[in-house]
Amino acid sequence: QVQLVESGGRLVQAGDSLRLSCLVSERTFGMYAMGWFRQAPGKEREFVATISRSGDITLYLDSVKGRFTISRDNAKNTVYLQMNSLKPEDTAVYYCAARNVVVSNRVYVRGDDYTYWGQGTQVTVSS
């Protein structure tokens, strides 16, 4: 069973930066496309960012483009989400997700495309 453990969420002020990490317990981590999603209170889960298994393809939610950066270190089985210029509307529980991609080097933006999920980490941005 693949396990994902997020960390790094906390209370910050608007304009601050934060880096989330997601450690994946899978020796073939390099074969997994990874994604970050978030869910704010009373709202549906939404896609934030995704990265291909090789790390050379990334996609972002329009509202975070230029502020957030997804990256991965396959040697450390870890995917990161660097969040800069945080806004109160970024407040949410952030989840990382993984999908085994055997053949292609593609990315995925739908939650239903992912197989494994972490437990989430809370990010709160005060104004």
56 SS3 class:
coil
Residues 70, 50: Cα–Cα separation, whole Å: 7
Question: Which tokens belong to 39?
Answer: 């869910």
Please calculate the CA angle 6-82-44 and round it to the nearest 5 degrees.
Answer: 60
Residue 112: its pLDDT value, please?
Answer: 97
Closest-CA residue to 2 (of 71, 72, 94, 97) = 97
Residue 102: its pLDDT value, please?
Answer: 79
Residue 1: its pLDDT value, please?
Answer: 86
Residue 119: its pLDDT value, please?
Answer: 97
Residue 5 near residue 98, CB atoms below 8 Å: no
The secondary structure of residue 55, as a DSSP letter, is S
Report residues of the chain scoring pLDDT below 70. none
pLDDT digits (tens, 9 = 90+) for 88-106: 999 999 999 999 997 778 9
